Amino acid sequence: DFLDIERVEVLRGPQGTLYGRNSAGGTINIISRQPSNDLRMSLAGEYGNYDKRKLTGSVSGPLVDNRVMAGISILKNDRDGYVDNVNPDTTADKLNNEDSFAIRGMLKFIPSESVEVLISGDYFESEDYGNQKKPLHVDGFGNPVVIPIPGFSPTIISDPWTVSIPGDYPSYNDMTTKGVS
């Protein structure tokens, strides 16, 4: 998810000269909207199945006309897991959930006509029980098909949204990133 984006640039071909890296296939630049003298506000919400809740908002405008401007953007995203882990020896009974929070703030100073200073800070945290997928083949009607493998007889759970993973789920993601520029 991106917050308060001004534009996306797609540049083809090598970009090592422009961006100091050898990106032979091109590059994608995601440009954030900078604060300005215009007051801007936005708020958006979503609700979906499995208690999917997403709220994004931003506000930006002048603190001192033509000299100091600020902006802040916030995102909160939650969803319950939709894959059931039926193994009795686990602490993770719902997989493929989402729980993330992001915030970005910008402060723009214009002390003179020839000097402009932009300070940006961001913070992101996410906790989830991974992107669990079951290897399952289906026919043209969406029904599970078991492909026989000689000498191997796997336990097949026909429901693609049910898995059996023992113990603590190994791919629990707990990520925090932050930055200032």
Q: Is 71 exposed, middle or buried (0-12, 13-18, 19+ CB in 10 A)?
A: buried
Mean pLDDT of 152-180: 70
Q: What integer best gives the mean pLDDT of the chain? A: 82
Give the tens place of pLDDT for each residue, 42-66: 999 999 998 999 999 999 999 999 9
Query: pLDDT > 90: what percent of the chain?
Result: 48
Q: What pLDDT is stored for residue 2 in this prediction?
A: 83
Residue 58, number of CB atoms within 10 A of its CB: 18
Model pLDDT for residues 64-112, shown as the tens digit of each residue: 999 999 999 999 999 988 888 777 777 777 788 889 999 999 999 999 9
When pLDDT is cut at 50, 70 and 90, the band that residue 153 belongs to is very low
pLDDT of residue 161: 74
- Which has more pLDDT, 169 or 156? 169
**Whole-number pLDDT of residue 140:** 56
Closest listed residue to residue 92, CA positions, set 164, 169, 166, 162: 169
DSSP characters over 94-153: EES-EEEEEEEEEEEEEEETTEEEEEEEEEEEEEE--------EE-TTS-EEPPPBTTB-
Q: What are the φ and ψ backbone dihedral angles of 152, each rounded to 5 degrees?
A: -135, 125
* 133 pLDDT higher than 80: no
Residue of higher predicted confidence among 140 and 58: 58
